[in-house]
Structure 1
Amino acid sequence: MSSSPDPAAPEALPEDGLPRRRPNFGGEPPASSSPSHVSAWTPDGEQPGKVGETAVLDAIATIYDPEIPVNIYELGLIYAVDLHDDGRVKVEMTLTAPNCPSAQDLPVQVRDAVQMIPGVAECEVEIVWDPPWDPTRMSDEARLALNMY
């Protein structure tokens, strides 16, 4: 099994030439359960007036699965956040199970929360199933909150 790239490092530019920044998915869990933890993953050089990853992750961290008392970010449901210079944001997320009762609601809540951020022109939320979600994607705080140690 090959080692994963550093989730804090920006990836190589894709074909469209727009930078992508991805939160930590499957690597080290966040240092705390408060939304401020995402600042450690904010790449240097974010410019004022542009949508920053910190703001997007803070907004996402306000969304809770109604059946689980942990926000969806700490649950490890957010797989990717793509920020574009024109204010578009794309979020790739998954659900804990394909038959999740909140399958219709959670993506809409994520989209609405991200679109409230100043500078966001549009937010697209895509549900992905690969890789499948499993409890190892949860942060330590989420495991503690759910007594899964």
Structure 2
Amino acid sequence: VELRQVATETLENVRLLSRQLRPSALDDLGLAAAVERYLGEFSKLYPALPVDFHADLPNRLPSTVETSLYRIVQEAMTNAARHSDATALSVLLTQRNGQVQAIVEDNGHGFDPEGAARSGSSVGIHGMFERADLLGGQVQIESSEEGTTIYAEIPI
């Protein structure tokens, strides 16, 4: 009986990890719907942080673009919730001029993006830059005492 329980738990962990690598909602529904679904999970974890979400995207984008932007948005939202003391968060997904853009903005206390990148203290921020760079895109971070805005742009 114990062996069966360990096997069941291991299988559940593998399924969870695979969903975390590429959520099935990306495959089934596309980027905008997957982010919207993530917002539901996010609001349960951080109920005091309302999120304003807008998306103006075609139904589907290349899967590599969808995955990268999903992870960038996820990381930006998580960082805002954990570190900024924000009381409002905004997420915008758009496409124009052959580029897909994700903009995540909070009204938290801000931070020093260059200092965080230099110190190596933020693996998540480094990952955002890498994800965009691998697809020929870019990430820009603007931060002040009034909040932080993360711009990600990836060509399609």
Q: TM-score category by the smaller chain?
A: 0.3 to 0.5
Give TM-score scaled by structure 1 length.
Answer: 0.34
Give TM-score scaled by structure 2 length.
Answer: 0.33
Structure whose residues are more often strand by fraction: 2
Answer with 1 or 2: which has the greater Rg: 2
